[in-house]
């Protein structure tokens, strides 16, 4: 019922609406990223197959089986604006346009989003993309003033992008959601809406606590 009636999405949207009213969802700068959620590889089921709609995906030199959670995170607060669930073999860059709401002036992404601004679905949009340089190209930067400036720029971009790791940390380490719990993409995506909604509450609560502590001191 939760999946069929879209109730988990409503929970997510309601939480975000409340946080936006509190001034925590600025929507001017955003960070896009994706994380892999592993699926059980077992074939001990009625169909004798691994989970439907789950696929292999390579990260670095390792292969993973499962799904991806693609998110759009507020660059100021680190809260998740948008969530899309796909199979594990879907490229991150193909979902970037669907994560944006149209109000952003700047968007950041890791090296997996190289070329995002030139893709047909993104041409003509007013957002300015700041994508990380590929590791091999970064290592080959010249040891001169220009090279040092470009390296500093990459460090600055990385420091901003680090905020996208916070909701992933809450989901995987605090909520212990490291593997899918249902068969099929729709059910698992529905669960992710509630988890990321509650993760936003956790992160917003931490931010208020830090703010109050600084004010008291």
- The per-residue pLDDT for range 168-190, each reduced to its tens digit, is 999 999 999 999 988 889 999 99
Nearest to 188 by CA among 47, 16, 53, 43: 53
Sequence spans of domains, the chain = 7-216
Q: Where residue 212 falls among pLDDT bands split at 50, 70, 90?
A: very low
Give the residue with greater pLDDT, 47 vs 216.
47
Helix axes 7-21, 185-216, angle to 10 degrees: 20
pTM, two decimals, is 0.86
Backbone angles phi, psi at 159, to 5 degrees: -65, -35
pLDDT tens across 119-140, in order? Answer: 999 988 889 999 999 999 999 9
Between the CA of residue 85 and those of 73, 185, 190, what are the distances in Å? Answer: 15, 7, 9
81, 101 Cβ separation under 8 angstroms: yes
Q: What's the average model confidence in pLDDT over 150-165? A: 94
Q: How confident is the model at residue 32 (pLDDT cuts 50, 70, 90)?
A: very high
CA 53 to chain centre: 20
| Contact indicator for 19, 204 with CB cutoff of 8 Å | yes
């Amino acid at each position: 019922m939760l999946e069929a009636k879209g109730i988990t999405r409503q929970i997510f949207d309601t939480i975000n609406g409340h946080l936006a009213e509190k001034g925590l969802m600025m929507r001017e700068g955003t960070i896009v990223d994706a994380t892999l959620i592993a699926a059980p590889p077992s074939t001990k089921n009625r169909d004798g197959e691994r989970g439907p709609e789950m696929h292999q995906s390579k990260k670095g030199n390792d292969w993973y089986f499962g799904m991806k959670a693609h998110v759009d995170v507020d660059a100021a607060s680190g809260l998740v604006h948008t969530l899309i669930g796909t199979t594990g073999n879907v490229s991150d860059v193909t979902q970037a346009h669907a994560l944006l709401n149209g109000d952003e002036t700047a968007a950041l992404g890791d090296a997996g989003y190289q070329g995002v601004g030139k893709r047909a679905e993104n041409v003509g949009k007013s957002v300015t993309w700041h994508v990380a340089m590929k590791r091999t190209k970064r290592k080959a930067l010249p040891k001169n003033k220009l090279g040092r400036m470009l390296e500093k720029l990459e460090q600055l971009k990385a420091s901003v992008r680090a905020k996208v790791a916070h909701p992933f940390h809450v989901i995987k380490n605090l909520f212990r959601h490291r593997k899918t719990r249902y068969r099929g993409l729709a059910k698992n995506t529905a669960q992710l809406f509630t988890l990321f909604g509650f993760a936003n509450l956790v992160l917003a609560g931490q931010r208020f606590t830090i703010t109050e502590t600084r004010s008291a001191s």
